[in-house]
Structure 1
Amino acid sequence: MTLQITVAAPFKHTRKMGMRKNELVYYYALDRKWMSTDQAAVLLRRAEEAGLIRQENGVFSVLFDPSTVTVPIGFRPASAVFETNDPAQELIGRIVKARGVPETDVVAEMNGIVREQFDGNLLPPAALVLLAKKYQVPYEDLRDALLAALRK
């Protein structure tokens, strides 16, 4: 949610639906002093990956209505806006928690499935889904993100 608020802020403040990269970087880094210029560039990439903005002909357009987002007074984005969520790593964590074993054991078992049962013809996220099913660990909420990771 913080990512959406951070993305919405400049569009809401300027009442524009499209802004150039330099305008957005200026807003985040110099006007609001929320982050460095490099971090602002990372933020824009991350927002594109999350499907919040789109770049076309050098102009970033917001893909949601920024007027529906409330930017709290004194808002400052948390460092989490720069972190990417790795669905495979999250699923590994869930399996670790469910089984009570070290992460290395889960990764080793995943690699064993890939090598021994599929002769290396299975990608790790798919092997993790097989492990999740085996140990009855819920993974359905990560299905879309895992599929996207497989397509990359």
Structure 2
Amino acid sequence: MTLRTTIAAPFRHTRKSGMKKNELVYYYALDRKWMSTDQANQLLRRAEEDGLLKQESGIFSPAFDTAAVTIPVGFKPTSAIFERNDPMQELIGRIARARKVEETEIVAEMNKVIREGFDTHLLPPAALVVLAKKYHVSCDDLRDPLRQALRKA
């Protein structure tokens, strides 16, 4: 995961477990020249929202084991780290690829599950998980983002 790698990089490089916001912005924008200071601030906000960074008394620390992340030599994050991936769209795509059908067919089947199987008492993210299990499509890595989508619904 590029976002996880980008967040782990300053902590691994400096061998620190916690850093101030200005240290992180400096690392991303000035030291590595990976992005602008505005983008670095946006990255930190996104990482906090996604649960990759936690902040306590003005000190940011990773919410995951940075030692488990491999940072390739010459790593430089792409602009993809600023894009939000929709976990529902990702799962629809996975199921469609596994079944070799169009995504619209999966959406139609999802709606059918909601309507006929649960009398409209099931939210779309949960219906997609039902379909993923039915077709033996892995969705374990999307579990947390799908839960967040359920909370927002």
Give the TM-score normalised by the residue count of structure 2.
0.74
Q: Which residue of 2 aligns with 1:20?
A: 20
How has the CA–CA distance of structure 1 residues 75 and 111 changed in structure 2, closer, same or farther, with 3 Å as cutoff? same
Distance 1:96 1:64 in 2: 31
How has the CA–CA distance of structure 1 residues 88 and 22 changed in structure 2, closer, same or farther, with 3 Å as cutoff? same
Aligned partners of 1:129 and 1:139 also within 8 Å: no
Distance 1:31 1:46 in 2: 21
Aligned partners of 2:91 and 2:139 also within 8 Å: no
Q: Which residue of 1 aligns with 2:79?
A: 79
Distance 1:21 1:14 in 2: 14
Query: Is 2:52 aligned against 1:44?
Result: no
Distance 1:137 1:92 in 2: 13
RMSD: 2.9
The residue type equivalent to 1:137 in the other structure is H
Structure 2 SS opposite 1:120: coil
Q: Which residue of 2 aligns with 1:151?
A: 151
Count of paired positions: 151
Shift in Å at residue 123 of structure 1?
0.8
Shift in Å at residue 124 of structure 1?
0.4
For 1:26-105, what aligned pairs fall within 5 Å after superposition? 26-64=26-64, 66=66, 71-105=71-105
The residue type equivalent to 2:57 in the other structure is N
Aligned partners of 1:87 and 1:142 also within 8 Å: no
Runs (5+) with no aligned partner, structure 2: none
- Residue deviations 1:80-128, cap 9 Å, x none? 3334443322221122123332212221222233244434321101111
Give the TM-score normalised by the residue count of structure 1.
0.75
> Sequence identity of aligned pairs in percent?
68
Distance 1:143 1:74 in 2: 28
Shift in Å at residue 75 of structure 1?
2.7
Which is further off, 120-129 or 72-81?
A: 72-81
